[in-house]
């Protein structure tokens, strides 16, 4: 235990001797180095507001890319099981459908692959066919 105490005492004495030898210039250099380190540490990360804006913009761009390039489009001419031609305009952002039947425009809704038009509900296969739940369906013609 005495060896440990004497080693600690020698270490403290060495530190005190070193502190006495440090000149004013060395203290100035050390202070400047500390200021530079503090400056680097303070500026290492951007402002949190900037980070939030960047992340938000990335999410918006990803959503727009998903809507424009990944979401299937239902727009086009369709014919139903009775031979009646329908023109569908698909608003991808809202999932709303504007369906023109015999010159009349009616509204429909598409949610994922579930199709709803008035009282008619169906399942869309994301390509060219919508099968109504109660029988019948639509086929894309262009």
In SS3 terms, the chain reads as CHHHHHHHHHHHHHHHHHHHHCCHHHHHHHHHHHHHHHHHHHCCCCCHHHHHHHHHHHHHHHHHHHHHHHCCCCCEEEEECCCCEEEEEEECCCCEEEEEECCEEEEEEEECCEEEECCEEEEECCCCEEEECCCCEEEECC
User: Could you tell me the residue range of the domain that residue 13 belongs to?
Assistant: 2-68
Q: How many domains does the chain have?
A: 2
- Same domain, yes or no, for 58 and 22? yes
Per-residue pLDDT tens listing for the chain (142 residues): 567 778 778 878 887 777 766 666 777 888 898 998 888 887 777 888 999 999 999 999 999 999 889 888 889 999 988 888 989 999 988 889 999 988 899 999 988 889 898 888 999 888 889 888 888 888 888 7
Q: Are residues 27 and 58 in the same domain?
A: yes
Q: Decide which of 10, 37, 68 is a domain's last residue.
A: 68
The answer to whether the pTM exceeds 0.95 is no
Same structural domain for residues 62 and 120? no
């Amino acid at each position: 235990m005495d060896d440990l105490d004497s080693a600690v005492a020698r270490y403290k004495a060495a530190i005190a001797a070193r502190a006495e030898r440090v000149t004013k210039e060395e203290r100035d250099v050390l202070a400047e180095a500390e200021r530079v380190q503090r400056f680097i540490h303070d500026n290492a990360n951007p402002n949190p507001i900037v980070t939030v804006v960047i992340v938000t913009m990335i999410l918006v761009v990803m959503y727009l890319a998903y809507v424009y390039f990944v979401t299937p489009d239902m727009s086009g001419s369709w014919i139903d099981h009775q031979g009646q031609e329908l023109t569908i305009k698909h608003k991808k952002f809202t999932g709303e459908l504007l369906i023109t039947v015999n010159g009349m425009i009616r509204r429909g809704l598409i949610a994922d692959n579930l199709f709803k038009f008035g009282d008619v509900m169906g399942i869309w296969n994301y390509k060219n066919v919508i099968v109504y739940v109660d029988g019948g369906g639509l086929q894309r013609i262009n």
